[in-house]
Structures are given as structure tokens and as C-alpha cells.
Chain A
């Protein structure tokens, strides 16, 4: 315990009233203060931070260097350099800092050097001369500030105990994707500072680090390498870094959607990784010298107006002022008033007092100003189709949301005139291996029928399968003597139509697999038609049942028959029945959720109730996603582990070999039976001597399905290849026709090769895109001949989960490694011998690997995941607004299946440009979507309709259109919670509070004193 629960904070707000009050009252509880005042340029020049105006957003501080006259007052501005210019030291903030040193002499002051921005950081990293200049300037600054300006003749050396380095840069731009070695460069700079600046002066080195939750994770902060931090030593054999502050705050910020600055789930992921590095045996920098971070401030985000969504930072004291109704919503008029201040316009709403809400995960307080009703996703009432909810609750990164994973057929019928879900006859009678068989795919499923807006169900429907004619041995006393032709199976449905005419015929069918997806039908004995998918991307393939629009047919009054003939059908295709109606809509979309809202007025400060606002905003917090190539086959492998008993109880067990399933059937040559009238030698079957055998399947090797041990969820599974001496393929049992996008997510656990096979016509030919972890190569091969090869990026190692992606579109091949959209092989696009499709799936060779996802999509169509509709009725008037639809004026959306009719690899070309010429983008974060309705005192149902799947719907707010916000702020509870976790669970030294003057002052009461409180020394 000794020396832990310490508080580190910074001088950012030195001079402000709250900072000075905190320092006076709680200085005895502060362990260290980062003197956060020196800004570094890419070339190593150092500037006084406060000399750079807050509005400055350029990329070169040079304007503000000494000698330049940025403020136009005719005098040079202020700058730190070897010339030891000291005039800035007369500024009040420096007086405050120097006084603070003497007020609390125990506080360890660290002089901070701040270098922000990828363009600056990379330029310094790439130029040793800039690094030399930086280090020389650090020396100059340190030596400069050691002499007190405000206490002439005194030294600051007793108080300045260290140097703090704060290099922050996000390498999120794709130009940095293949940049490597920055972690080593940065470590070397730190090492030089320690050896050349700190050690000769007896100073410690403190470093601020990004919150990382794995090696190179997140990838854009990878130059902050905890393993290097932990193990690199200085010239004396000690850790280069004496203290590390991990910035576990600002996960949510003004530009993000509302949330905690330090969500607990994120803190845990970061802390776990930190402990793995700094708690490792032999680590030089150990956990007891690590601080985690917590923010003292919060953020307020408007939720009532699209122009007010961007957040603003608020202090804890601002938060209390909001609670006490000293604020209401306002905006700047950008006019200057008679007193020289900007005139603000305060909106037409009362100054109201509000209780806060605790986020039970982060312990942060949430204030929902002028929000009259709100719903978490879990409180929505989800509509059902076929007995299943059309949307499901899920959680990602601690945020609950409701979503529809893939489109659901929520069909709507107009004026049904006849229906039949049981055949009037079958020929022959059904039997388990006969020409007509029954199929119980939906016997326990209530099938939803929505007719003219009214929902009803049909239950207990039995399916029927027909089989084509075949030859079988004619048996006499059990021994075949010649062959007999057995005719095809036939199933007939009778539909009683009241009046003759043209009606739309809808079939309820199931296409079990690509070779069980055709029904040949004859209407009233003469009119034949076929039910079958129009392409291999038919969106309703594999469904237990779906409605199939057979088109408009002529029906006679009274009985009409429809016969399914096995000779005209694929064997085993399932028919459940028919509906005859006047019109039909597929409505292949996401689900529907209803929120039953009640709005009631708030109380004013005088105890009377305010009026309900004249206009309310209904605001949805939802996340949209970019369109994706239309999925034809997606497997996460969990389904193979689920065993459901007759009572519906689910248990889980590993599957020894996935190639025993029909989906990934193992390649075999089988004897053809029944395809001809020649009796076999053993007289047990008949066959065609010209075609005595047939082939099935493409896969080879043994592919088990196991549970992923990562989080203990039995529904997290993977397909496993574990043979280090040989190879295998897990290939879908179908040769695709369409243009392809194939993705696999995997984790190599013992080095070898994994990849994607595509573009061939068998299990052994075609292209393979390979990541070879043993040879450390990424390569493209055709029938084992290497076409192209590159080194596997060093940052991808054994044990890391990652991804491979292949696109084969109109004879061009595009290849991707990792989760980046940057093409592998230096961006090369390949001309391939096959234009599209082929046999495809997973490749493994002499490797132990876990495959989590196999997704096969087509780039011929794109599935949209962007729009939803909010609908409510108030005062008899319906208000309906659709959000998120991107305008694509040159392209159509399929009216039946909702996909975008675009064939290509870059869907963004379909998007109409915005007025500024840029293409509209879909945020990776939650966004707010606002509609206005008249104010109401009472209840209204608010319906959210997912026009597309993949919308993550998290919250619905009903709030004042004049102004409403969601505000998150940490307080002493959340701070103590973070401190307890940091120290008790991870053995850290304490918390870095970013930053003093903004926080709940009660947090100081939760930490031990460093020294006893004492009055200020005389003269201070």
C-alpha cells in the first residue's frame, strides 16, 4: 500500500479560481503536478503553450515563435530557446505555478513537453536532426525554469523533480497504415531524454501514454508500446520511464456520441494489458509506478437540433449549475453587446432543476436537461413474425442496443381470396423414403399473415417434398432381375376462389440448399410455372420458410388445383402451401419496435408546473453502417454446437468434423443409383453405365467446431484446423456464379499458413490468398504457383485475431489483410483468369488456427444498413419521418428485397455528393436523429421501423425542441471507483486527474494525505 493511492494532476488551469482554491485546500493530497506549459514543434523547437491562441488550428507553431509578431502588437512574441528568453515568466500563470511550488513544497513538479499531431510526430520521428534539436531545447528549457523569475535569487530545483513527455498522435489516416518502427524511435527518444537530460540533473522521467488494450491495439496509437516501456533500460540499468500515466479518459468526447469518459469495460481492457506488460516478471517499469487516468470534467451534447449535437466540455461546477437551473439552452448571436461581450439568445424554456442519473457501469452522473421521457432500447416492444421477434437486444462495449441482424420478410397481403396449407392429394402417399415425403421444418412455428394491416397466424403447417422418377430393381423374392421405372412424386393443393379473375399467387416454400431450390408447378392441369431463386444471391435462400411471389395468374371460380411434379422440381425442395390474393408486398426489411411514451410537465422553482413545450423533439440515438456486399453465405459456426432436445432445451457440444454436414460436404465419388435402367452386378440398384458415378462436395481434411474459450459464451465458436503436418480445405458445397467478396476472420495459434480459396471449380484448383505466419509472407497463388508475394506486416503475430478478404469482380482480384481497407500487395489489382464465382472457402496448411467467421457475399448487389423510420400519431395526425437514407439518384433499390442495384467494389460512387462536393459518409459512432411533433401532455405510441437491417438503436428521447441535452460527468464516486480498481485490482500507484480545477472537489476527500495540511509558509 505504501506510496499508492497517489494523485497526479496538471497546471492546465493554473490561475483559474477553481484551480487555485483546490490547490490551497487540497495541495497536501497532491503527489505530483505536470507543468503542462511547453509545446513542441516537429523540428524540436519549443513554445510556451499559452502564447499559442486557443483558436489556432494550423500545423506549424512557427507563427508564434519568438521574433514573430503574431498578435500584431509590434513586439516579438514569446518563445523558449537557447537564448533563454524569460519575458513569458512574468505572466500570471507562471507566477501562480512558482507560488504553488513554495506553497506545497512536497509536490513533485514535472516539466511537460507536448508534441501533438501525426504530421508533427512523424516528421520528428523521421528526422534525427529534429530529435537532436528537441533534446537540446529540452535541456535549455529545464535549465531556464530552474531559476525562479518571481522569487529572484531562488532556485526552483527543490520542486522540479522531473520531465514529462506527452507525445500524442493518431495514425488513423490510411497513409500511416504500413508505417512501422515508430515505437522503437519513440522509445529511443525517451531513452535519450532520460540519459542526456534527466540523469545528469537528477530528474525523473514521466510519460503520458495512450490507453492501449493490446499490442498495437488500437493500431493508430501503436507507437506507444507498453512492452518497450516496461523493459527498456537507461544508462544505469533502470527503467527509462520512472512513472507512466495511462490516459484512460476521453473515450467519449465532444465529437463522439454521449458516454462516460472512462467506461468501465474499456478501463478493464486497458488495465489488463497494462498489467500484462508492467506486471510481467522482470519488467523494469512496474505497476506500482503506473498511474491510470480519470477526467475531472464532463461533456454536454445537445439532442434537439442538428446544429447543436457537437458536445461542449463542462466542469463539475457547471454540472451543478445546470442541476440547479442556472442554465438553459442558448446560442451565440455572434453580435457584441454594449458591454463588449457576445450577446447570447436564451431559448424559450424555463430555468428548471433536474436530478441526475447514475450510469451504473462507470458511476458517472448523467443529466438529461429538458428531457420529458426517454427509453432504453430494452423498453421497446418488439413486433413478431412467425413467432420470433423482429429485433433483438444486444450489447457492444457496454452499450445496449436493439437491432435486426439481417432482413426479415414482413410480408403484407391485400385481400386474400383463397389459401391452402395442406395438399388435397399426393401421389403416392407420403413415406419417409418415397417419391413424396413430409417435412416438419415449421410444424411448431406460427406463421404470421398480415392481411390489410391485420395480423393472424397459421400453425401446424406440414411441408412436402417431391422426387423425380427413378429406376429401381424389380424384385422377385428379394433379388432384382430387371429395372422398373418409378414415376415422380406429385403433390396437389386446391384453392377455392370465389370469383374468377386475375390474382396474385403466393407460395410458402423453403429452398434448403442450392440443389434443393426448384418447384415445377401446374395450375389447373395446363398452366405450368416454376418456383426457383433468380440468382445464387437470392436473399431468402436457406430460410425455414418464406413467401414466394409466383406472379399474377388466372383463376377460375370455385376449385383451382396446383400440382407440384417431382420431375419438374429439384428433389427435396419444400412446399408448404399457397395464398391467392389481390396484392402482395415482400417488405423484406428490419424489424419494428414500439415505445409507449408519456409526457408530463416539470415543476418550476416556484412549485407550480411549467407548460409542456409547444414542440417536442423525438430524438433517436442510433448507429448506421455502410452498405456491404450482399451476403450469400455467412457462418460463425456456433449453430453446429447447439443441440436442441424435444423440449426445446439447448445444450452445446463440439462437432468432430464439419465436413460431415451438407453445407461443407467432403469431396467424394459416389455410385449413381436410379439414373438408368441397367441393373447393377449385385442386383441391388439400377444405373446408367454412361454415368456410373457422381461427385459431391469439395472439402477435405478434418474440421472440428469448438467453443471459443475467450469469453465463455457457448455461442462463440470457431472452425478448427489443428494438423501441423498437412493441409485441408473447408469449402462451401456450391460453385458460386456471381462476383464474390469472401472474408475470413481467424487466429493462428501455431505458425503455418491460412487463406481463402476461390475462383476454382473443385476442391483442389483455383486461387488461394494466403497468410503464411511461418514464412512471414502474404501471397497469392494459382494452383500452388505463386503469382505475387509480400512480407507479412510485423505487427501481425501468432495469437492475434485478424482478417483476410478477397474480392473477385469481373475478372479483377482485390486483396486485403487485417481490418484495414488498404489493399495488400502494395495496392495491386490482379487480372484473374476467372471472371467471377467458383468454389470457395477456407484454406489451411500445416497450421493450428481458429476460424471465427466465413462470409461469402456478392459485389453484384449491396445491402443497405442505413435507414429507419419513426412514426407517431398525435391528435389524430400521423407524423412519420425516415432517417439515414443516402440519396443515390443514379441507382435503384430493389422493391422486393431492399438491396442496392449496384455492381462494383466501391459503393460510395453511388452516393450523390453533398453541397460541399463531398460524398456523404456514415459515422462509425452513434448519431442522433431528430423529428419534431407538437407538444402533448399524455401518451403516444412511437413506432421505430427498421427499413434496413443493421441499425443499432440505443435510445429514444422525447424532449423540448427549444433545447435538450445529455450530459455526462464523473464525480467523486466514479473517481473513487477508478482509484479503487487501479490500486486494489491492478496495483497501480494512483490516478492522474486531468485536470485540477474542473473536478468534483469531494474526490480529494477520498484520497490520503501526502503531507499534513498546513498553512502557507510566511510570504507565500
Chain B
């Protein structure tokens, strides 16, 4: 049986011209610096499962085969771990607590404008346990009124020139990402919830449609095309997510530093038992 833990991903980036359409891509795989001998110094086959093209310069996480049985991880959050002496003093009565058998991890977010947030999908109880991708629930509360909000992965690429925002390739809205969730203008204090685990999204108490929305109307009356709304997965390690808030300034959506706070929440999974 092939051990799934022995599979490795290799990646590289290349650029191509936007001037001409791509007819085909020929990929030549050269096993030049690969170890294709086993521990007994015997030649072994090099298996390749698939080649995947993705826009952008960063690797995304991978999603386990749906036939795998996943196992939910429960964790311990032990604040006493950092105690130095048994006689340590805790001011304000805020003493350390050891919490066990916890299902969720929830992280505070505070930011302004466009930021890339990192969520630690690690399992420090056992640092080397295989942690799998998991859905993340975001609740983001704007501190200021805004004209556009976009939550996305941090793996993206420049749009085609005809789709540049304001004909400006340097504008952050001229980038597209593998997963995006875009919302039109909103008010300070009204929470935005994008809940991957339940597949629902809200602004305040209004539930947002997911599929079939190709554009949204902005506060200036213009129609803004959007990518299909997607929910979000955190892969193992420090997963990156972009939060982008925009406000019209001189007729253009700009990063004016809209403030926000909120949380990102997820539970964790590892391999269960393979069907193979």
C-alpha cells in the first residue's frame, strides 16, 4: 500500500505574457535532483499523480480525498504551561486556566484597510500530527462605513488587462484570488459573517446569496463584477487570508484604512482510517 504521508508536492512558478493567448503548455518533468532510491539503495519508481496549474506565486493547501475518513482533533489550552514559578503573581485575579478537550480555536482579528491575516492551523499538543485543511468561520465587524469588502485567500494573480480595476494594474482590485467573497457597501458596526462550516453568510441579519451573483451594485450606483462567492479553508500551518475594505475617494475605490475587528474560528481534523 502506498503511504499517503510519503507523497510530496513540488512546485515552481513561471510567468507568461499577457499579450498573447496560451495555446498549450508542455510540461517536461526531469527527475534530476530527486531521491528515487529507497533506504536499501534500490531504484524505486517515481509516481506522479497530477499536475496542477494555479494562478499566483504561492502554494495553496490541498484538500483530502473525500473518501478519507477524517478524525476531529480536540486540544488542550493550558495557560499554566508558561508559568515560571509556582509563586508567580497574576494581577487582577486573571489566573491561568487549563482547558481540555476543546473543539474550536478562535482568534481575534484587528486590522485596517487591506491586511493578510495568518491563522495557526497547528496542533501544538503533538507538533507533528498531520493536521488537515478545515473550514474557517469569519466574523468581521467594520469600525467605519465602507463601500466594498472582499475576503479572499492570499493566492492570486493579476487579472487580464481588460479587467483591471480603473485600468490600473497596481490597484489591489486588479488582483484575483483562488477564493473570494465580495460584499458591497456597509455600515460601521454591522457584522459580516462568512461561515464555512455551515455554508452561510450574513451582513447583519441579512443572509447573502452564494451562487448566481455575478455583480453587485456599489454606493455610487455602479455595477461591480465579482467572482463566485466561496468559503474558506485553512490548511496546515499558518494559513493566509486577505481582508480588504475599500472606500470611494475621488470616485475610485481605495484602501483608506477602514478599521475592523472580529474573529476567525475553526476546528481541526486529522486522518481517520483510509478506505484503501
- Which A residues are within 8 Å of any B CB, using their own CB? 1-5, 21, 25, 317, 320-321, 323-328, 330, 333, 336-339, 341-358, 360, 365, 368, 371-376, 378-379, 596-598, 600, 602-603, 605, 607, 939, 962, 971-973, 980, 984, 1000-1002, 1005, 1008-1015
Chain A residues whose C-beta falls within 8 Å of the C-beta of B109 in the assembled complex: 354-355
Surface stretch bound by A, among B48-56, B114-122, B206-214: B114-122
Instruction: Judge whether B257 and A600 touch: CB under 8 Å.
Output: no
A972 to B111 Cα, complex, angstroms: 23
User: Contact between A358 and B82 (Cβ–Cβ < 8 Å)?
Assistant: no
A339 touching B86 by the CB < 8 A rule? Answer: yes
Q: How far is the CA of A327 from the CA of B81 in the complex (A)?
A: 9
Is B156 an interface residue, CB under 8 A from the partner? no
Q: Contacting B85 at CB < 8 Å: which of A25, A327, A341?
A: A341
Asked whether any CB of chain A lies closer than 8 Å to the CB of B263, the reply is: yes
Question: Are B124 and A343 in contact, with the CB atoms below 8 A?
Answer: no
Chain B residues with CB below 8 A from A1014, complex form: 39
Taking a contact as CB atoms closer than 8 A, the residue among A327, A353, A962 that contacts B82 in the complex is: A327
Specify the chain A residue showing the minimal Cβ separation from B81: A326
Q: In angstroms, how far is the closest chain B Cβ from the Cβ of A1004? A: 11
Bound complex: CA A358 to CA B116 (Å): 5
Q: Is B33 an interface residue (CB 8 A)?
A: yes
Tell me, rounded to whole Å, the shortest Cβ–Cβ distance linking A271 to chain B: 18
Q: Which residues of B contact A375 (CB under 8 A)?
A: 112, 257
**CB atoms of A365 and B118 under 8 A apart:** yes
With A320-B122, A351-B96, A358-B240: A343-B89 Cβ-Cβ less than 8 Å: yes
- A607: B residues at CB distance < 8 A: 106
Which residues on B sit within 8 Å (CB–CB) of A342? Answer: 84-85
Taking a contact as CB atoms under 8 Å apart, the answer to whether A373 and B259 are in contact is yes
Q: How far apart are A586's CB and chain B's nearest CB, in angstroms?
A: 32
In this assembly, does B165 line the interface, its C-beta being within 8 Å of a C-beta of chain A?
A: no
Contacts A25-B128, A320-B120, A973-B238 aside, 11 further interface pairs with beta carbons under 8 A come to A3-B33, A325-B79, A327-B82, A344-B83, A346-B89, A347-B91, A348-B91, A354-B109, A358-B117, A600-B110, A972-B237
The answer to whether A358 and B35 touch across the interface, beta carbons within 8 angstroms, is: no
Within 8 Å CB of A324, what residues of B? 77, 105, 120, 124
A337 and B256 alpha carbons, distance in the complex (Å): 51
B108 near A355 (CB under 8 angstroms)?
A: yes
| A602 near B35: Cβ-Cβ < 8 Å | no
20 contacts between A and B (CB under 8 A): A2-B32, A2-B33, A323-B120, A324-B77, A325-B79, A343-B89, A346-B96, A351-B96, A351-B97, A353-B106, A357-B118, A375-B112, A379-B256, A597-B259, A602-B261, A962-B91, A971-B118, A971-B237, A1008-B10, A1012-B38
B151 to chain A, nearest CB (A): 13
Residue of B32, B107, B110 touching A373 (CB-CB under 8 A): B110
A356 and B87 within 8 A (CB): no
> In the docked arrangement, what's the CA distance between A668 and B66, Å?
88
Closest Cβ–Cβ distance, residue B162 to chain A (whole Å): 26
In the assembled complex, how far is the CB of residue B253 from the closest CB belonging to chain A, in whole angstroms? 16
Contact A355 B90 (CB under 8 A): no
Looking at the assembled complex, report how far the CB atom of A960 sits from the nearest CB atom of chain B, in whole angstroms: 12
Judge whether A354 and B144 touch: CB under 8 Å.
Answer: no
- Kindly identify which residue among A333, A972, A1008 contacts B89, using a CB–CB cutoff of 8 Å: A333
Is there a chain A Cβ closer than 8 Å to B195's Cβ? Answer: no
Residue in A317, A325, A338 whose beta carbon sits within 8 Å of that of B77 in the complex: A325
Q: How far is the CA of A337 from the CA of B119 in the complex (A)?
A: 36
Contacts of A365 in B (CB 8 A): 118, 238
Cβ contacts under 8 Å, B92 to chain A: 347-349
CB pair A1002–B105 under 8 Å, yes or no, is: no
How many residues on the B side are at the interface (Cβ–Cβ under 8 A)?
A: 65
Assembly CA distance A66 to B175 (angstroms): 64
A372 touches B236 (CB 8 A): no
A339 to B10 Cα, complex, angstroms: 50
Are B127 and A21 interface neighbours, CB within 8 A? yes
> Are B85 and A343 touching (Cβ within 8 A)?
yes
Q: Which residues of A contact B83 (CB under 8 A)?
A: 344
A1 and B33 contacting across the interface, CB-CB below 8 Å? yes
B36 to chain A, nearest CB (A): 9
Which residues of chain A have C-beta atoms less than 8 A from B89's C-beta?
333, 343-346
Neighbour of A339 across the interface among B13, B87, B113, B143, CB < 8 A: B87
Please report the C-alpha to C-alpha distance between residue A343 and residue B85 in the assembled complex, in whole angstroms: 5
How far does the Cβ of B97 sit from chain A's closest Cβ, in whole Å?
A: 8
CB neighbours of B119 from chain A (8 A): 355-356
Do the beta carbons of B33 and A343 come within 8 Å of each other?
no
Q: In this assembly, does B99 line the interface, its C-beta being within 8 Å of a C-beta of chain A? A: yes
**Residues of B with C-beta under 8 A to A355:** 107-109, 117-119, 264
Evaluate contact between B77 and A600: CB separation under 8 angstroms: no
Are B91 and A605 closer than 8 Å at their CB atoms? no
Cβ distance A1020 to chain B, nearest Cβ, rounded Å: 14
Find the B residue at minimum CB distance from A18. B127
Cβ of B115 to closest chain A Cβ, rounded Å: 5
Closest CB in chain B relative to A18 CB, distance in Å = 8
Least distance between B158 CB and chain A CB atoms (Å): 15
Residue of A nearest to B95 (CB): A346
Of listed A358, A374, A971, A1005, residue having the most chain B CB within 10 A: A358
- Chain A residues, Cβ within 8 Å of B35: 1008-1012
Docked Cα-Cα span, A321 to B122, in Å, equals 10
Bound complex: CA A317 to CA B125 (Å): 11
B112 partner, pick from A341, A376, A1009, A1011, beta carbons under 8 A: A376
- CB of A815 to closest CB in B, whole Å: 46
Please indicate the chain B residues that have their CB under 8 angstroms from the CB of A21 in the complex.
127-128
Pair A371/B110 contact, Cβ less than 8 Å: yes
> Which chain A residues border B264 with CB–CB below 8 Å?
355
| CB pair B81 A337 closer than 8 Å | no
**CB of B268 closer than 8 Å to a CB of A:** no
Q: Provided the pairs A348-B92, A355-B109, A1014-B39 are in contact, do residues A326 and B86 lie with their beta carbons within 8 angstroms?
A: no
